[in-house]
Amino acid sequence: MMARLIIGNDKSKSRIDKNIYGHFSEHLGRCIYEGIWVGKDSTIPNTDGIRNDVAEALRKIKIPVLRWPGGCFADEYHWMDGIGPYEQRPKMVNTHWGGVVENNHFGTHEFMRLCELIGAEPYICGNLGSGTVQEMQQWVEYITFDGESPVSNIRRENGREEPWKLPYFGVGNENWGCGGNMRAEYYADEYRRYATYIRNFGGNKVYKIACGPNTADYHWTEVLMREAGNMMHGLSLHYYTVPGTDWEHKGSAVDFNENGWFETLKKTLFMEELIKRHSAIMDRYDKDKRVALIVDEWGTWYAVEPGTNPGFLYQQNTLRDALVAGINLNIFNNNCDRVRMANIAQMINVLQAVILTEDDKIVLTPTYHVFDMYKVHQDAELLPLMLECDEYRLGEDTLPQISASASVDKDGKVNISLCNLSHEDSADIDCPLSGLSVFKGGMPSSVTGTILTAPVMNAHNTFSDPENIKPTAFTGASLKDGRLTAVLPAMSVTLLTVE
Ligand code: AHR
């Protein structure tokens, strides 16, 4: 059957917050060190110690917000170890991630510089699990206070006269697990205590994000909204797509067949149900949707690349990951009335990375290309859509064959992102567009497109073949009498722009 896509006229429903296209970078494996930070004396071209090639690639995809320093690392991190002259910064052991030595050379000043260089807003996650209230309070004060205080004076001694803006702050990470193994009831009280001391200085307004549920822990959401909902701006949600029988037996990133393809896409589609069910609980306490659901860790998690440190979570990234990215971003777009930030895990060299590095070389992954294609949705108005499509069947199991979302940007261009999940069937799309008030005279006049696809499902880029899979112009769409039709190849992510 032909897939029918009906786009509604009601463009005022919700804005797709650009922060849905956010990223996450943790002191884990080679994300920060090697991936971002090479130090000022490196032979790899850098600006103040930050790789130029990586910064340039990140600027291109317009990363709106960057979360740091963890993850599980955040609840072991003591920010004062990461300021001042490098030779005086104490070393620590990164117990969570490989037991390696952390020399603290990448700290607050370096993170803020990174954000400036790539044009992202900072989202810092504080230490509630093993840190004090005073420590958390003073971190925000160190960064944002323009007056005289012991910590703001230390900032000046460290070479930064003006305070920075710090728009987003997380009050702990996964406090149901690595962040202290707390019960929801206990964390809710701790959240209230710590959040009390996160102050707004000068014109800086901190948007406070509470640790939210692990996957389908609906009890956590209920308790947090009931006990602390009025003291937070956002509640986080973590959900990873983990193919394989269990955490101990995860599937490979590259070596998989159609079962691994199907299983991964099925698991990733669970994100929709999670968002709907957590949102329904939030609606009972916050019908006006003041509190955002912040999906600040999401993405694929496979077995590590053979021969690499198991604590470094380094994995390849294939066309399958491009589909995972496209599907999740469509889900976030379509639920943007509640989901107002998401941060893929993680930006470089860890889990579903957009960039991989090896010495002075970089590779842009298929996931990078999806973020590049979808950036047109950032801050655009969501267009509601109704989709009727075939089932994608494998054995007895089925999934919808198509995932889609649509928005209209400030210039009146309509962008439609479409994923064809099937590993073998193309999909015919029919989309009546005449009468849509976003077009002059209610009639669209042109369509252009970009597609990411490949002949094999595990197509990926390597350091010796970095452009094996990359977007190309899409010529399979046409417009006639206000009707958009397209043929989407199997295993593809497509972005159509209609004006
Ligand atoms: O992203 C890797 C880890 O996954 C993070 O440190 C933690 O928050 C989550 O369990």
Question: For residue range 444-490, what is the model confidence (pLDDT) as tens digits?
Answer: 999 999 999 999 999 999 999 999 999 999 999 999 999 999 999 99
- DSSP character at residue 163: P
Residue range 74-95: average pLDDT?
97
Helix extents (H) in 119-243: 133-144, 150-157, 184-196, 218-228
Residue range 360-388: average pLDDT?
97
Mean pLDDT, the chain, rounded, equals 96
Ligand 1 pocket member 173 (CB < 6 A): yes
Alpha carbon nearest to ligand 1 atom 2, residue: 71
Strands (E), 222-359: 234-241, 244-246, 249-250, 292-300, 339-345, 355-358
- What separation in Å is there between the alpha carbon of 28 and the centre of ligand 1? 9
- Residue 440: predicted pLDDT: 84
- Residue 139: predicted pLDDT: 98
Q: State which ligand 1 atom lies nearest to the alpha carbon of 351.
A: 1
Ligand 1 pocket member 174 (CB < 6 A): yes
463-467: list long-range contacts, CB under 8 Å, 24+ apart.
463/356, 463/358, 463/361, 463/363, 466/361, 466/362, 466/363, 466/364
Residue range 302-310: average pLDDT?
96
Place 11 in a pLDDT band, splitting at 50, 70 and 90: low
Ligand 1 pocket member 22 (CB < 6 A): no
Ligand 1 pocket member 70 (CB < 6 A): yes
Best residue for ligand 1 mutational test, from 178, 214, 314, 315 (most atoms within 8 Å of Cβ) = 178
Ligand 1 pocket member 297 (CB < 6 A): yes
**Tens of pLDDT, residues 241-293:** 999 999 999 999 999 999 999 999 999 999 999 999 999 999 999 999 999 99
Active-site choice (174, 190, 263, 381): 174
Alpha carbon nearest to ligand 1 atom 8, residue: 71
Ligand 1 pocket member 72 (CB < 6 A): yes
Place 13 in a pLDDT band, splitting at 50, 70 and 90: low
- Decide: 425 and 418 in contact? Cβ < 8 Å: no
Ligand 1 pocket member 74 (CB < 6 A): no
Catalytic, 297? Answer yes
- DSSP character at residue 132: -
Whether residue 328 is predicted with pLDDT greater than 70 in this model: the reply is yes
Place 435 in a pLDDT band, splitting at 50, 70 and 90: confident
Catalytic, 467? Answer no
Q: What tokens were used for 249?
A: 């037996």
C-alpha to C-alpha distances, 291 to 27, 66, 224, 276, 366, nearest whole angstrom = 28, 20, 11, 15, 32
Q: State which ligand 1 atom lies nearest to the alpha carbon of 72.
A: 6
Least confident segment among 6-10, 164-168, 253-257: 6-10
Place 434 in a pLDDT band, splitting at 50, 70 and 90: confident
Ligand 1 pocket member 26 (CB < 6 A): yes
Whether residue 359 is predicted with pLDDT greater than 70 in this model: the reply is yes
Ligand 1 pocket member 170 (CB < 6 A): no
CA distance 336 to 162: 35
- What separation in Å is there between the alpha carbon of 71 and the centre of ligand 1? 5
| Sole residue written with tokens 């690392």 | 73
**CA angle, 198 as apex, 195 and 202 as ends, to 5°?**
150
- What separation in Å is there between the alpha carbon of 311 and the centre of ligand 1? 11
Active-site choice (26, 190, 297, 381): 297
- Residue 36: predicted pLDDT: 98
User: Could you tell me the pTM of the whole model?
Assistant: 0.97
Whether residue 12 is predicted with pLDDT greater than 60 in this model: the reply is no
- Residue 109: predicted pLDDT: 98
